[in-house]
Structure 1
Amino acid sequence: MKKHILVIAQYFYPEEFRINDICSEWVKRGYKVTVITGIPNYPHGKFFEGYGLFKKRKETYNGVEVIRLPLIPRGNNAIMLALNYLSFVVSGFFWKVFTSLKADYVYIFEVSPMTQALPGVWFAKKRKIPCYLYVQDLWPENVEIVTGIKNKLVIGLIGKMVDYIYKHCDKIFTTSESFVKAIVNRNVEKSKVEYWPQYAESFYQPVEGLDCSEIPNDDRFNITFTGNIGIAQGLDVLPRAAEILKSKGFENQVRFNIVGDGRYKDTFVEHIKQMKLIDMFNFIERQPAEEIPIFMSHSDAAFLSFANNELFNMTIPAKLQSYLACGKPILASASGETEKIIATSKSGFCTQTGDEEELATSIINLMSLKDEDRKTMGKNARSFYERNFDKKYLLDKMDQNFQ
């Protein structure tokens, strides 16, 4: 008889998160998978077309049964975001009370908010089944950064909730080694916490010969960022670096392609216009994840950055695995775990978080390399990915926990 995995993930298809692929792979491996999620509204802050409080609340995706709990969409301000987080927990509580669903395991895919783990913990406790938590964002640290809340009472209460969740999970998986240490420091047994890095979906690989009209085919050096455009991404370092490049005469030689959407996008675009740098930037609407390798194939380098915060030094962003898998040289404005991976893999240049002078210098250095040397960096990236983030190896490892 197939084992039944109940997945708790506030975000799920058509929202683009790795849990979509993980669940699809589990179905292929013979598991029955049910996902409890919300009505899709990330990152735009409003319900996706075709979805709503009374529309498409149940569906099947790649053999995965999807049940959508009612929630308030994220909107575009802190109050709406808080209501979004809270509404999922309230809906999850009532779902837990009234559901007749049975499962063998609970698996919680935790990107912010950590609050989404509560319905999973409650369900596992009620059914007396193992509960696994996959931590992508550390709380309460992430709350302080994203919301700016510094109130010790509020942060203390969130900390107690986090400790409650950790205590009632049988196993905690993390996306970085640094997260393991941080969780153990909250008095969690070390044997309970395990590093299980993210992999990139199989379509992330080097591709050639496919058209991409959004990135002009000219002599400019194309540096491409893909993903969510938020405060945490620290993208303000790019226009500052662009200003330096412009002052050195590189204005017509470099193009920054920004592929994606997010709460900070409008402000970011306006900021670049005010700096009179818009000619160096090419904004492209959010794309299906499957299309990203095509954009990478028309780019000379992939870019990622973080806002300057100790928490982000501990984080390995999901896009790093995607970039490595696409076999492209990487430019990063980041420290800690990201810096370590780029240095070890010899896949590009990583400068200190937020340092525009260093970043501008790295861009010039990368541009000045021979094509062959940049190709070697790209090959190093793909090779490192295959050795460290192979999908089959990681899913086999997770399977051992389900035996």
Structure 2
Amino acid sequence: MKKHILVIAQYFYPEQFRINDICTEWVKRGYKVTVITGIPNYPQGKFYDGYSYFKKRREEYNGVDIIRIPLIPRGNSSITLALNYLSFVVSGFFWKALSKLKADYVYIFEVSPMTQALPGVWYAKKRKIPCYLYVTDLWPENVEIVAGIKNKSILNALGVMVDYIYKRCDRIFTSSRSFIEAIHQRGVELDKLEFWPQYAEDYYVPVNKEIASATEVPMDDTFNIIFAGNIGVAQGLDILPDVAKILKRSNIKVRFNIVGDGRYKETLINKVNNNNIQELFNFIPKQPATKIPELMAACDATLISLSKSKVFSMTLPAKTQSCLACGLPVIVSADGEIQQIINEAGAGVCSDAGETEKLAENIKILTSLSADELKTMSINALEYSKKTFDKNKLLERMDRWFNKTN
């Protein structure tokens, strides 16, 4: 009989998160998978076309059963974001109380918010089954950055909730090594923690630049840099207009191709326009994830950036694996673990978060390299990706936990 995994993930297909691929792979490996998620609204803050409180509440994706519980869309303010987080928990509480679904394991895919873990913890306790938590964002630390909440009483209350969740999970997996010590400092035993890095989906592969049909990226003699993903405050893209001004004064022919959507996008566009540097930027609407490798192939390097923050210095962004798997030189504007990875791989250049002058200097260096030197970085990226983030090996490690006797 198939083992049944109940996945709790506030974001799921058609929202673009790695849990979509993980669940698909579990189905291929013979598991029955049910996902409890919300109505898709990330990152735009409003429900996707075709979805509502009354439409597509039950769906199937690659053999995965999807149950969508009601929530309030993220909107564009801290208040609506908080209501979005809270509404998923409230709906999850009632779902847990009323559901007849029988699963063998609970797997919680935690990108912010951590609050989404509560329905999974409650369900696992009700059914007396193992509960596994995958932490990709640290709470309550992350709340200060993403939601802008500074109130100590609120942060302390969130800390109590986080400790409650950690205590009631049988195993905690982390997407970065740095998270292990941070979670251990909250009183969690080290033997309960395991580093399990994210991997890139199969479609993240190098595409021949000569045959790439990404018409969104102009094919000229300009050095094209691509950033693809959520355009939020956390991504630290506010540094780019000042970097662009430095490069423009130095007559460096560079174009930042910004692909995606998010709460900070309009502000960034306004800054670009106000500084009269439009020719250095190319804003591309959000694309299907499968299109990203083609867009990358049309570019010379990819950018990974994060804002200045202690918690972000411990974070290994999911796009790291995607960029390495596509074999593109990587420009890092972030602190901590991501720099260690790129330097270890020999796959790019790094500067600390918010260091405008250093980021501009690194871009100048890349634009001065020969085609062979850039190709070496690309090869290094691919080799490191295959060695460190092998999909099958990672899934086999998770299989061992699912195949343990309850």
For the superposition of Structure 1 and Structure 2, which TM-score range results when normalised by the shorter chain? over 0.9
Q: What is the identity, as a one-letter code, of the residue corresponding to 2:320?
A: L
Give TM-score scaled by structure 2 length: 0.98
- Residue 106 of structure 2 is matched in structure 1 by 106
Q: Which residue of 2 aligns with 1:241?
A: 243
Look up the match of 2:217: 215
Following superposition, the deviation at residue 399 of structure 1 comes to: 0.5
2:55 corresponds in structure 1 to 55
Counterpart of 1:360 in structure 2 is 360
* Residue in 1 that maps onto 2:200: 200
SS in 2 for 1:36: strand
Shift of 1:304: 1.1
Matches within 5 A, 1:21-40: 21-40=21-40
1:244-267 deviation digits (Å, cap 9, x = unpaired): 1111122xx111100010011001
Runs of 4+ in 1 over 6 A off after TM superposition: none
| 2:347 counterpart of 1:339 | no
Task: Write the letter of the residue equivalent to 1:333.
Answer: S
Superposition pairs for residues 365-380 of structure 1, below 5 Å?
A: 365-380=365-380
Structure 2 unaligned spans of 5+: none
Q: For residue 150 of structure 1, what is the aligned residue in structure 2? A: 150
State the distance in 2 between where 1:166 and 1:190 align.
12
Write the letter of the residue equivalent to 1:75.
Answer: G
Deviations 1:199-230 (A, max 9, x none): 01000010111211110111000011000000
Looking at structure 2, the residues matched to 233 and 372 of structure 1 have their Cα atoms a distance apart, in angstroms, of: 30
Q: Distance in 2 between matches of 1:304 and 1:295?
A: 15
Offset at 1:146? 1.5
CA RMSD after TM alignment: 0.6
Q: Is the 8 A contact 2:78 2:148 kept in 1?
A: no
Aligned residues: 401
Instruction: Describe the SS at the equivalent of 2:237.
Output: coil
1:8-23 superposed matches below 5 A: 8-23=8-23
Letter in 2 for 1:81: L
How far is 1:166 from its partner? 0.2
Structure 1 residues 2-401: aligned runs within 5 Å: 2-208=2-208, 209-250=211-252, 253-401=253-401
Alpha-carbon shift at residue 148 of structure 1 (Å): 2.3
- Extract unaligned runs of 5+ from structure 1: none
How many Å apart are 1:147 and its aligned residue? 2.1
Paired residue type of 1:14 = P
Partner Cα distance (1:169, 1:185) in 2: 16
CA distance in 2, matches of 1:247, 1:217: 23
Deviations 1:34-87 (A, max 9, x none): 000000010111111111101110011000000000111111111111111111
3-state secondary structure, aligned to 1:13: coil
SS of the residue aligned with 1:236? helix
CA drift at 1:278: 1.1
Q: Which amino acid in the other structure matches residue 221 of structure 1?
A: F
Identity %: 63
CA distance in 1, matches of 2:251, 2:23: 49
- When normalised by structure 1's length, the TM-score is 0.99
Q: What is the CA distance between 1:353 and its match in structure 2?
A: 1.1
The one-letter code sitting in structure 1 at the alignment partner of 2:223 is F
How much has 1:153 moved relative to structure 2?
1.2
